[in-house]
Amino acid sequence: MAGWLAPDESVAVNLTVNGEARQAHAPPRRTLADALREEGFTSVHLGCEHGVCGACTVLIDGAPVRSCLMLAVQGRGHAIETVESLCDGDDLGALQQAFDDNDALQCGFCTPGFLMLIEGFLRLEPEASRQQIVEAVSSNLCRCTGAVGIVQAALDFQSTRRRSP
Amino acid sequence: MKPAPFAYAAAESLEEVLALLGEAGDDAKLLAGGQSLLPLLAYRLARPSHVIDIGAVPALDAIDERDGRLRVGALVRHAALERCELNGRWQAVREAAALIGHLPIRMRGTLGGSLAHADPAGELGVVATALDADIVLRSVRGERTVPAAEFFIAPLITAAAPDEVLVEARFTAPAGGFRSVFEEFSPRVGDFAYASVAAGCRVDADGAAHDVRIALGSVGPTPIRASAAEESLTGSALHDAAIAECARMAATACDPSAGDWHADGEYRRALVASLVERALTRLRDTP
Amino acid sequence: MTTAHGPLIGVSAPRRKNLELLAGKATYVADIGLEGQAYARVVRSSSAHARLLGVDCSDALRVPGVLDVITAADIDDIRIPIRLPFAESPEANRALQAPLARDVVRYVGEPVAVVVATDPYVAEDAAELVLVDLEEMDPVVDTATAGEPGRPRLHSSLGSNTVNQLAFRYGDIDAAFAEADIVVRRRLRVHRLAAAPMETRGLVADYDRNSGVLTLWGGAKVKHFTRSLLARVLGLEPDKVRVVEVEVGGGFGTRGEPYPEDVLIAWLARRLERPVQWIEDRWEHMVATNHAREQEHDIELAATAEGQMLGFRVRGWCDHGAYIRTQGLLPVVLPMLHMPGPYQWQAFSMDLDAVLTNRTPVGTYRGPGMTEATFVRERMVDILAAELHMDPADLRRRNLIPAESMPFVFNPGPGSSGVMPIAYQSGDFVESFDEMLAAADYHELRAGRQRARSRDGKAGVGMAVYIEFAAVGPFEEVDIICDGRGVTVRAGVGSVGQGVETALAQIAAELLGAELEDVSVEFHDTAEIPQGFGAFASRSTVLVGNAIAAAVNEIRIKSAELLGCGPDGIELHRGNATGPDGRTVPLAELGGVRGRFDKDGLTASFGGAVCSASVDPADGRVRLDRFLVAHDVGRAVNPRLLRGQLAGAASQGIGGALFEELAYDDNGQPLSVTLADYMMPTAAELTPVDLAVIEHGSPSNPLGIKGGGEAGMVGSLGAVVNAVADAIGDGADLLSSSVSPARVWRALNHQSSLDGAGRPAMET
C-alpha cells in the first residue's frame, strides 16, 4: 500500500518530458509547472497560477492541461510534452510557423501555452469546425494581439496538417 | 501563490483510499482531477493537512446506462462525459459537461470532484438536482446513497462525512420519451455561470408536458429545484404563454440574497427566466 | 534615400525575435536562476486604511530556510519620487510612497515587510507568519467626494485628499452657454481598469562585492531613471548600478516603472550579498501594480439647435489611489490635455482635481488620460446628437477644426492654473474623419442597423474621435557602431514586447544603405547604452528613429570630411561611404557615432474608432459586429507591426468596456483579485479589428513619424459605449464606461437610469 509522503519530503518524481526520462525532485505540494521549470523547461510560463490564463499549458498523454493545476507527483508515469517538442530541429514546426505567418504573437509570453493548447486540441479534434477552434482558443488569454491571429494560425495549421498529416 | 504544505499519498484502490482517509483525520482532501482543489490550494483558501490522490483508483471511470439510470463514476472526466454516446434523455448531462470551464479544465476535471466541490455554479450539481441523482458515498462503514437534494448543503459543503468518498452519481429520468437540456449564461465562454438551468420533460401524444424537471444554478447557496414551476407546467401544453409563466415562477424560486458585484440577484432572476424559457422552447421544438 | 534593395521604411519586415519566442527559448525574468539565488515574498496590508501598530517577524524568522525578514524599521526613510517634473505638485510630493509602509497602511496590498528564503514556497509560508498589528481606520473609497472637507485624510501632512487642482479657461464660457439653444448635462464615470500583462512583474538583483556593482534584471521601461533612483537609495555611484532588461511579457504602461519592490529587492541583494529574485504572483499583481482610469466628471455641453457645439464645462475628479507614484499627476494632467479633442470650441472651462483614495495607486495604462477624456467628451457628443435627432457623424463632422486653421492652439485664459497650451501642429481632421467613415462603410453600418431594428433587433452604431498627444521628449540618444558590414545601434528606450527593435533596425538599415539583417539594435543594459528616458507615450520609434537619422547625418558629415566632399554627395552602401568621385571610406573607420534628437512638446495626431454592436435584451450580452480604428500615424515604419499594435490596443479597450473592472467594496477591499474576476476578453468575445492607417506626415520630426503604440485604445471605450447606447435606444443613459452584461441589462430594464456611480442622474 502506498504510504504517506511527509509535507517537506522531497521525493524523486520520474517524468517523461518530450520523450526523455527525467527525474525531478519535489515535495508533494510542488506544482507540475514549477517542477518542469526547475527541470529547465522554462517555456512553461506562469501567468496566473490559478488555472485561468493557460500560459502553462502542456500536453499530458496528448491532452492539453494547465500544468499549474497539477502537482508534480501527479505527473508520474505520464507522457508530458512542452513547446520544445514542436520544433523541427532548429526550425519552427508547422504550427509555430503558422503563428509567425499570422502575427499571432507579440510579447510571446502566452505563446507556448497557446501552441500546446492548439496542438493538443487538433490532435483530439482534427476536423474541428471554426467555431470549435474559436472556443478552444478561448481557453487561454493573450493580452497583446486580440487573439484573432491565433485563431487564424490554428485554422491554417489544421489545413496544413490535413494535407500532410 | 504556492500551496501550503501537506502530506500526500496516492491510492491505488478504493480500499486504500478508505484506509488513508482513516489515517488522515478530518483535514484531508481527496484529489481527483484537481481543477477545483488546486486553485484553492494556490490561494491558500484550502489548507488540508493531507491530500489523498485518487486519480489512479481503478473502476471509477465508467459511464453506464441501465435500469433507467445513468451511472457515472466519480473519475469520469468532463471531456469524456461531453463526448459519450447518450440519448436525449441524458442530454443535459452531456451539455452541462461541455460547458464546464475550458477544454484543458475538462480534460482533467472529474464528475466526482465537481460534485464534491459543491460550488453553487457547478453545472453537474444542477443536472444532478434536476435528474434526481443519487450520490453514492463509500466509507469503511459501508456504502450509502444520498439524494442530490440532500447532498448539497451550502457553498462548498456537502453531506459527505470526512471519511467518505464519492464514488458514483446515479442520474434518474423516466422512460417513455423524457428528454433533458442544459442552458447557462456566462459573461465569457468558460466563466462561472451567472445563472444556469437544467430542464427536462416528457411530452405526451396530446402535446402535454409530464415529469417536468427544472433545477437552477448560481442563484442560491446550492442548486435549487424549481418545484412550483415544474407543477405549473405539468399536464399543460408547451405553448409560449405556459412556458413564460413557468419561467416566471422558476425565477421566484431563486434565493433573493444570491448575487455578487458582477451580477446582482435581480439580474440573475431575469437570466433564470430567460434560460428556462430557452430550455423549454428547445424541449418543445427539437424533435 | 533608397538603397540597392529598395526602401525599408514602410516595409512590413518580419518581426525579430519571433523564432526565439515561438521555440520557447526566450528568457523572461522568472527564467533567471543565479547561483545561490534566494526568493523574496512581500507581506502586504490586508486593510485599506489602518494604523500600523507593529510588525512581529519572530515566527517567520524561525522557519527553516528563511534568510531575512525586513520591515520599514530596517531601511532608510525614503520615498519613491515622481520622475516627470511637469507631473509634480507640492501636495503630490507629500503623498509619495515609501518602499515599506510606515505608521499607516493606505491600501490593500501595500508592502509591509519582505521575507527572503531559499525557496519561494518557504518564503510564502514564512510571510504568512509575519504578524501585522493593524488598528482599522475609516477608508476613503469614493472618487468624487474623496477631496471634500471632513473626509478621513490619507496623509496627515496634507490638508485634504486633493493633491492638485488644474483649471483651464478658454474663451468666454458664459457667453457660449448664453448663446446655446440646448445644454446637456451628465455625471459620467470611467471605471477602474488594469493593464494586466500576461507576465506579472518580476525582478532579480545581485550585488557583486568585489566590483561593488549592483545589477537589477527586469526593469524595462525607464531603465536609466531606475538606475539613478537605486544609486541614490543604495548610496552607490550610478555607474555601479546596472539595470538590465530581459524579455518582457507585455508592458502597456505599467511595467518597468520603479515600484517599491525595485528598491526592496535591490536593497536586499546588497544586504544579503546574494542574488534575490522576486516574482509577483497574480493576486499581488491585481493589488500592487498600478491601476488606471478611475475618474468621475460632471460635464455640460452647450450647442445650437443646428448642432454647432459652442462650449463645455467639466468638473472632474481623477483618482490617484493611496499614493502618488513615479508617474506623478499624469492621471489628472493627461485627461485635461485631451478633453477638448478635435473640435472647434468657442469656449470651455475645465476644473480637474487629483484626489487620493484608499485603493491601489493609479498610474498610466496604454492611452492614459486620453482614453478617459475621449470617453467623457464623445459620450456627451452622442447624447447631444440624440437630443438633436442628428446623425452623430454629421454632428462631429461639422464641429471639427478645419485644416485651414492649422496649426491650432487653445491658449489658457485668465483663471487658468497649472496648465499648458493645447496645440495641434498639423493634420486635416475633416479629411481623416471622412477616411474613417469610408473605411468603416459608415452608411452601410447605419443601414444595417435600420434593417436589424426593423426585425426588432437591438442594433447600434457608435463612434469616438480624438486627438492623441504622443512622442514626448525631451530627447533620446543613440550610438551607431559600424563594423565591416555589421551595424550596431545602441539606444536607451526599452522593448516591452511591442517589437520596436524591428522598426528601428529598418530605419537604420535604410538610412545607412545596409541590409536589414546586418543591423542589430541593443537597448537591454544600462551599462552599455547612452542615456535614455524609456518606452512610454508612444515615443520610442519617433525619438530613437530620429536620433538614428541624426547619427547617420553625422556619419555623412564625418565621411565627407575624409573624402573632401559635401555630405549630400555621400552615398552610404553596405558599410561604405562613397563620394561623388567614386572614392570610398569604410564606415568602420569612423568609430562610434552618436546621434541625438531633441523634441519640444508633444505630437498631436487625429484618430477615431467606429463600432457596430447588438445587444440581447434577455441577458444584456453585447455582440460587436464591426470595430474599426482609424489613426494618423504620420508615417508607418512597419505597417504590419503597427497594425498589430493598433488592433491589440483596440482589443484591450474593447475588453475594458465589455468585461473588465477592478471593483472594490465599501471597506476598500479589492474584489477583482483573480483572473476569473478580472475578465479579459478571449478569442470567443473579440472581433477582428479593421484598421484605417492614415499617413499625414508630422512636421515635428525629420522622419515624419507620429506615435502608434497606444492609439487603438483611445477611442475604444467611447465607441463601444456609444454603440451600445444606440442599440438600446430611447436615449439610453449609459453613463459609465463599463457596459458589462449586468449594466446593459439594467439599462434595458430600468431606463429611468442611474449615473455611472449608481446615483440618480442629473437632468438634461
pLDDT tens digit sequence for C338-379 = 999 999 999 999 999 999 999 999 999 999 999 999 999 999
Could you read off the pLDDT of C686-739 as tens digits, one per residue?
999 999 999 988 888 888 888 778 899 999 999 999 999 999 987 678 999 999
Percentage, residues of chain A above pLDDT 70 = 98
Does the beta-carbon distance from B262 to C742 stay under 8 Å? yes
Chain B residue with the nearest C-alpha to that of A135: B189
Could you read off the pLDDT of C88-108 as tens digits, one per residue?
999 999 999 999 999 999 999
The whole-number pLDDT of residue C763 equals 34
Rounded to the nearest integer, the mean pLDDT of chain A is 95
Using the Cβ of B3 and the Cβ atoms of chain A, whether some distance falls under 8 Å is answered with: yes
Could you read off the pLDDT of B163-196 as tens digits, one per residue?
999 999 999 999 889 999 999 999 999 999 999 9
Beta strand ranges found along C309-424 (DSSP E): 309-319, 347-355, 408-410, 422-424
- Closest by alpha carbon to B32, among B100, B107, B112? B112
The whole-number pLDDT of residue C752 equals 41
Beta-carbon count within 10 A of C76 CB: 12
Using the Cβ of C343 and the Cβ atoms of chain B, whether some distance falls under 8 Å is answered with: no
Q: Where, residue-wise, is CATH 3.30.465.10 in chain B?
A: 60-287
Measure the N-to-C terminal CA separation of chain A; round to a whole number of Å.
Answer: 44
Closest CB to A143 among C23, C250, C644: C250
- Cis check: omega of the bond before C407, within 30 degrees of 0: yes
Q: How buried is C726 (Cβ within 10 angstroms: 0-12 exposed, 13-18 middle, 19+ buried)? A: buried
Report the C-alpha gap between C264 and C270 in whole angstroms: 10
Using the Cβ of A26 and the Cβ atoms of chain C, whether some distance falls under 8 Å is answered with: no
Could you read off the pLDDT of C220-239 as tens digits, one per residue?
688 889 999 999 999 999 99
Closest CB to B192 among C121, C676, C741: C676
Contact yes or no for C703/C697 (Cβ under 8 A): no
Q: What is the mean pLDDT of residues C744-758?
A: 65
Does the beta-carbon distance from A70 to B34 stay under 8 Å? yes
Does the beta-carbon distance from B38 to A51 stay under 8 Å? yes
Q: What is the mean pLDDT of residues B267-273?
A: 97
- Cis check: omega of the bond before C639, within 30 degrees of 0: no
Residue for cell digits 468575445? C685
Rounded to the nearest integer, the mean pLDDT of chain B is 96
For helices A148-163 and A111-124, angle between their N-to-C axes, nearest 10 degrees: 40
Report the C-alpha gap between C722 and C701 in whole angstroms: 35
Domains and CATH numbers, chain C: 18-26+473-598 (3.30.365.10), 35-137+201-279 (3.90.1170.50), 295-403+416-471+602-749 (3.30.365.10)
The whole-number pLDDT of residue C495 equals 66
The whole-number pLDDT of residue C239 equals 92
Does the beta-carbon distance from A1 to B38 stay under 8 Å? no
Report the C-alpha gap between C639 and C627 in whole angstroms: 19
pLDDT > 90? residue C621: yes
**Phi–psi pair at A7, nearest 5 degrees:** -55, -40
Cα–Cα–Cα angle for C97, C100, C105, rounded to 5 degrees: 75
Q: Does domain B7-53 have CATH number 1.10.10.10?
A: no
What is the number of CB-based contacts under 8 A between chain B and chain C? 61
Interface of C with A in 635-654 (CB under 8 A): 640, 643-644, 647-648, 650-652
pLDDT > 80? residue C760: no
C408-410 and C422-424 as β-strands: parallel, antiparallel, unpaired? antiparallel
Q: Where, residue-wise, is CATH 3.30.43.10 in chain B?
A: 7-53
The whole-number pLDDT of residue C530 equals 66
pLDDT > 90? residue C501: no
Q: What is the mean pLDDT of residues C257-273?
A: 96
The whole-number pLDDT of residue C754 equals 41
CATH number for the domain formed by residue range(s) B60-287: 3.30.465.10
What is the number of CB-based contacts under 8 A between chain A and chain C? 164
CATH number for the domain formed by residue range(s) A11-85: 3.10.20.30
Could you read off the pLDDT of C447-462 as tens digits, one per residue?
999 999 999 899 999 9
Closest CB to C497 among A92, A103, A107: A107
Does the beta-carbon distance from A108 to C19 stay under 8 Å? no
On the CB side of B25, CA atoms within 13 Å amount to 6
Determine the distance from the C-alpha atom of residue C747 to the mean position of all C-alpha atoms in its chain, rounded to a whole number. 30
The whole-number pLDDT of residue C498 equals 62
The whole-number pLDDT of residue C48 equals 98
Contact yes or no for C351/C418 (Cβ under 8 A): no
pLDDT > 50? residue B44: yes
Does the beta-carbon distance from B5 to C674 stay under 8 Å? no
Q: CA separation (Å) from B154 to B135, B171, B221, C61, C190?
A: 16, 21, 5, 39, 37
Using the Cβ of C617 and the Cβ atoms of chain B, whether some distance falls under 8 Å is answered with: no
User: Per the CATH hierarchy, to which homologous superfamily does domain A87-163 belong?
Assistant: [2Fe-2S]-binding domain (1.10.150.120)
pLDDT > 90? residue B140: yes
Report the C-alpha gap between B73 and C284 in whole angstroms: 39
Contacts of B23 in chain A (CB under 8 A): 4
Could you read off the pLDDT of C53-102 as tens digits, one per residue?
999 999 999 999 999 999 999 999 999 999 988 899 999 999 999 999 99
Give me the residue spans of the domains in chain A: 11-85, 87-163
Could you read off the pLDDT of C102-140 as tens digits, one per residue?
999 999 999 999 999 999 999 999 999 999 999 999 999
Residue C217 pLDDT level (bands cut at 50, 70, 90)? very high
The whole-number pLDDT of residue A1 equals 54
Could you read off the pLDDT of C546-567 as tens digits, one per residue?
999 999 999 999 999 999 898 8
The whole-number pLDDT of residue C261 equals 97
Does the beta-carbon distance from B2 to C671 stay under 8 Å? no
Q: What is the mean pLDDT of residues C380-387?
A: 96
Percentage, residues of chain A above pLDDT 90 = 91
Using the Cβ of B242 and the Cβ atoms of chain A, whether some distance falls under 8 Å is answered with: no
Q: How far is the alpha carbon of C684 from chain B, nearest alpha carbon, in Å?
A: 7
Could you read off the pLDDT of A111-152 as tens digits, one per residue?
999 999 999 999 999 999 999 999 999 999 999 999 999 999
Interface of A with C in 49-108 (CB under 8 A): 49-50, 52-53, 55, 82-84, 87, 92, 96, 99-100, 103, 105-108
Preferred mutation among A132, A139, A141, A142 to probe B, highest tally of B CBs within 10 A: A139
Could you read off the pLDDT of C268-292 as tens digits, one per residue?
999 999 999 999 999 999 999 999 9
pLDDT > 60? residue C3: no
